[in-house]
A and B are shown apart, each in its own frame.
Chain A
Amino acid sequence: MKILVTVKRVEDYEVKIKVKPDGSGIVTDQMKYVVNPFDEIAVEEALRVRDAAGSGEVVVTTIGVADAQQQLRTALAMGADRGVHVLADGNVDPMMAAKAFKKVIEAEKPDLVILGKQAIDDDQGQVGAMLAELLGWGQGTFASKEDSLESDAEKSKQPALKIANGRCEVVREVDGGLETLSLAMPCIVTTELRLNLPRYASLPGIMKAKKKPLQEMKLAELVPGAEARVKVVKLEPPKERKAGIKVPDVATLFDKLHNEAKVI
């Protein structure tokens, strides 16, 4: 079983992002970068699938600046086997990313590709389905599971994806409930938050990760001539809400809602 997982370097989700005064970008001084949380879940699932199968390889790949190697190393420290770094500067839009991943996949020939359902920086949520289309593969987006993250099933660290007879069964979170698809492999899966609780990298894991193989290539060589067609014209802070008031008790709250805001 060979599984390929995509990993994106993103700003730490606990940091409040601020826009530069000229709107050309965000303030990145002293920024902390992390693995996109959905991708950590993707790595975790891949490790569980590999380990449940008893053998196999988890290859992690990223598209990004030289420093994105840190995020690949984090995934390797979690337990992935090998990294592929597609070096790219500047704006990489989802279609460019999908085209580059397609090239990596054609070279690696994995049985399963797992991506996060969205990256928490641009929040586009497109790459998984685009990649499935470019490859002509089936897609199971928003993969989740019926058991909660506090269940015994989660504590047993079994994979949520059910793989048998060349097919992968995926439980998807959709509006109004859950849906199950059976996909012919190879296939694309994108992760929802409730697929699993990702492990932390252990200290020995971090030491080992330093020696794991990491291949580099350039985006411009992988997809010559590709350019971003989602052009960011400007960034601005969202409209702030004006500060409200604290009310002392339920009676006042009800009065305000009934007579002032007139919403109940």
Chain B
Amino acid sequence: MSNVLIIVEQAGGKPKKATLAGITFGQQVAQKSGGQVHFLIIGPGASAAASEVAGYGAAKTYVVEGAAFENYLVEACTPAVVTAAKACNASIVAGAATSTTKDLLPRVAARLDAAMASDVTAVVDAKTFKRPMWAGNVTATVELTSNIKVCSVRVAEFDAPAKGGATTATEKLDIAVDAGAMKAKFVGRKEVKSTRPDATTADIVVSGGRGVKSAEGFKIVEQLADSLGAGIGASRAICDAGWVPNDLQIGQTGKIVAPNLYIALGISGAIQHLAGMKSSKTIVAINKDPEAPIFTVADYGLVGDITVEVPQLIEKIKQSR
């Protein structure tokens, strides 16, 4: 029997939508292994978030609160995860792949002397998983042979978790954190404020590449997105150029998205970009180069200048609403 510990991330007492994929993964592993799922929620607001995930059939939710967890620091969170993993006798520790778990889970794995699989896209059995390699050009089946196993889970590949079972009880864990002994100090955060849905969980994503020509030119991407209530994304090229915040990068080394509709504007479709969006249900590309590789993955391709085509498309959408 292998129990599973899933890290559920929260902000302000609400579980983050992206991290629900981790719960789905946990349910799938538990079903294959006959074990039980446990949740761990860290930070101020964790108790409130716990009640929001109480319907997903976990055996228990561990809650870690306190000022030391106000700002995420890996040295504070690692003992929290390890304590929870021991408390529920977990043989798998996992969470949706986010910038937090990508920082935290390998450290947890090292403390538990566990082998880890990153960005898992499918569960074969309780120790065997599928995951992409080489920018998604290869799907590998990997077996983790350590006693405890750690996985991060690709959000775009797991549907929302099923509800069911008894309401999950919570248990508070006291994690002593000696702030003075920590090697890292939190200095500050610069948040990119956005009223648009997050690209990793949005139903529609509109992305722009170097074809938008400038920071100013990216507005056309935002306008199309807003006409559809969509999230926005970008190619690496324009993040590097500083036209848009880095956080918008979609691809092998940025965010991985799989919305119902992905619209690529002025993006050539390099392997590294495709790695982040080719699981989208429907893909649209508008590009003035008929040979652009993005057209090889597009369900609907339109060869044309985005400054001409996109305003017309926005007009059509507005008329239909």
Chain A interfacial positions (CB closer than 8 Å to B): 11, 13-14, 16-19, 26, 38, 93-95, 98, 117-118, 120-134, 136-142, 144, 146-151, 169, 172-184, 187, 192-194, 229-238, 241, 243-247, 249-251, 253-254, 256-258, 261, 263-264
Contacts and interface: CB of A to CB of B under 8 A. Distances in A.
A128 B102 CA distance: 11
A254 to B, nearest CB: 4
Nearest to B182: A138
B145 A229 contact: yes
Contacts of A13: 135, 271-272
Contacts of B128: 233
Contacts of B300: 244-247, 253, 256-257, 261
A230 B57 CA distance: 30
B106 A130 contact: yes
B191 to A, nearest CB: 4
B185 A251 contact: no
B241 A150 contact: yes
Contacts of B281: 263
A139 B184 contact: yes
Most chain B beta-carbon neighbours within 10 Å: one of A11, A95, A144, A183: A95
B247 A236 contact: no
A178 B190 contact: yes
Interface of B: 73-75, 78, 98-100, 102-107, 109-111, 113-119, 128, 131-146, 182-192, 204, 228, 236, 239-242, 245-247, 252-253, 255, 260-261, 271-272, 278, 281-284, 290, 295-303, 309, 312-313, 316-317, 320
A156 to B, nearest CB: 15
Contacts of A244: 283, 295, 297-301
A139 to B, nearest CB: 6
Given A94-B106, A193-B240, A253-B300, A173 B247 contact: yes
A126 B109 contact: yes
B303 A16 contact: no
B111 A147 contact: no
Nearest to A233: B141
B111 A246 contact: no
A246 B302 contact: yes
Given A182-B184, A230-B116, A244-B298, A129 B141 contact: no
Contact of B119 (A117, A123, A194): A123
B109 A250 contact: no
25 contacts: A17-B134, A98-B110, A118-B253, A121-B134, A122-B133, A123-B132, A123-B133, A124-B118, A125-B102, A126-B106, A129-B110, A132-B107, A138-B182, A173-B246, A175-B247, A179-B188, A182-B184, A229-B115, A230-B117, A230-B142, A231-B142, A235-B133, A241-B297, A250-B309, A253-B313
A130 B109 contact: yes
Nearest to A98: B110
A251 B17 CA distance: 35
B261 A232 contact: no
Contact of A126 (B99, B116, B133, B247): B116
B242 A147 contact: yes
A261 B283 CA distance: 10
A177 B247 contact: yes
B78 A133 contact: yes
Nearest to B299: A244
Contacts of B317: 254, 264
A35 B134 CA distance: 14
B74 A234 contact: no
Given A123-B134, A250-B312, A254-B316, A174 B99 contact: yes
Contacts of A231: 142-145
A152 to B, nearest CB: 11
A182 to B, nearest CB: 5
Contacts of B100: 174-175
A22 B252 CA distance: 26
A95 B107 CA distance: 10
B75 A146 contact: no
A261 B240 contact: no
Contacts of B302: 246-247, 249-250, 253
A263 B271 CA distance: 25
A194 B184 contact: no
